[in-house]
Structure 1
């Protein structure tokens, strides 16, 4: 333990600060686009639209969700960055990473939203329909407002997951926290200490966000008891 030294932070702490900024940027964009895409996937999966009696939207959404959840995120990042180049789509590392994380997150968010909607008592929808509301109106004004309380904490957990998974972006040169650790290792020839600093950065981000989401969840529960 006496060999451990963190004096390099005096010179290289800005590298980790930049890494934190990139990690938060990539993760936030991925969550926003993931929620949008996941919402579309969810309603595709719940759609009753049929073409020649075949539920095309439901089949497409189900196949996509299962495929994404069944393949490694690192492979998806490589496909977004290297694979799409084959078809003439040239993205910067950070753009490719946001695309891959968003498409990956969308598959999980779709299931989060679906379970949140299903958690609302079916009698609520039936009561709304009996009052003359259309399916879409009942969903908009009755079901979704209640489902959001179930969905938001899970979305927060998804944000935490993405922050950790964004470390894979270092494999294509995105200057997030893990990449910052590698840069400092190369500059200082210290292998262990930069990894510890990187781990502490991830912990601070995820712990803070976790406590924030726990607070939001308690507020929702408190409002339900009123």
Structure 2
């Protein structure tokens, strides 16, 4: 116990900084990935054959590329096209590296979120669509007010799992210099010459984050079910 306390006292600040960076990158990734995933899902379900093919091609290409490859493409490849990321440093974070990681992780996660949304929407009985149109709703209104709330309840566990996967995938962003948990573990290893203790420390942190996300997802799912039952009874 004493050795653990000494380790935390000496390197706890590194772990806290790494945890904050991991959470910030993961939360922003999920935000943009959900937006992009919804767009791809809508294209995937489009009646226009060309739009549908573009969405399918996008999904197949991104699925085939490892996250490390996407990170390298975004960090090294995008600047070659003439696009320059901001060189500013905000809260000690190089925005060029952070934005490249955010784009890569968002793209990588968006294809799975797109399939989650598509399967969730398709799980809703087609009569719900017809019911919405029969009361004068447009296709968008039917989707927004009737179908999507029901689909969200069905896909919430999958979205929670994807968030947990995003947190774990964010560890690969350390290869382009993002100071997340994995990066900080390597820094601690270089300072302390202890190869195992830093890895064990971040493993525990990743485990805690995953458990918390799982519990929050279950709580939100139960709350949505209660809300839905309350609306049904009234």
Shift of 1:225: 4.5
Structure 2 unmatched runs, 5+: 86-95
Map of 1:133 onto structure 2: 137
Matches within 5 A, 1:144-223: 144-223=148-227
Q: Deviations over 1:198-220 (max 9, x none)?
A: 11111111111111111111222
Counterpart of 1:15 in structure 2 is 14
1:32 aligns with 2:36: no
Deviation at 1:105, TM superposition (A): 1.2
Question: Matches of 1:84 and 1:121 in 2, distance apart?
Answer: 43
Aligned-partner Cα distance in 2 for 1:183–1:137: 52
Shift of 1:195: 0.5
Aligned residues: 218
Task: Give the structure 2 partner of residue 52 of structure 1.
Answer: none
CA distance in 2, matches of 1:150, 1:194: 38
Matched, 1:66 2:60: yes
**For 1:221 and 1:137, how far apart are their aligned partners in 2?**
22
Match of 2:126 among 119, 122, 125: 122
Superposed, which structure 2 residues align to 1:76-95 within 5 Å? 76-91=70-85, 92-95=96-99
Alpha-carbon RMSD across the aligned residues, in angstroms, is: 1.6
* Counterpart in the other structure of 2:45: 46
Q: Per-residue displacement from partner, 1:14-60 (whole Å, max 9, x unpaired)?
A: 011000000000000000000011111111111123xxxxx221111
Q: Does the Cα contact within 8 Å between 1:16 and 1:180 map onto a contact in 2?
A: yes
Aligned partner of residue 120 in structure 1, secondary structure:
coil
Query: Residues 83-136 of structure 1, C-alpha deviation per residue, up to 9 Å, x if partnerless?
Result: 212212343111111110111111111111111111111111122223343322
> Does the CA-based 8 Å contact 1:29-1:98 persist in structure 2?
yes
3-state SS of 1:155 partner: helix
Q: Deviations over 1:156-213 (max 9, x none)?
A: 2111110010000111110000101000000010000011001111111111111111
Contact 1:27 1:166 (8 Å CA) reproduced: yes
CA distance in 2, matches of 1:202, 1:89: 34
Q: Distance in 1 between matches of 2:9 and 2:123?
A: 51
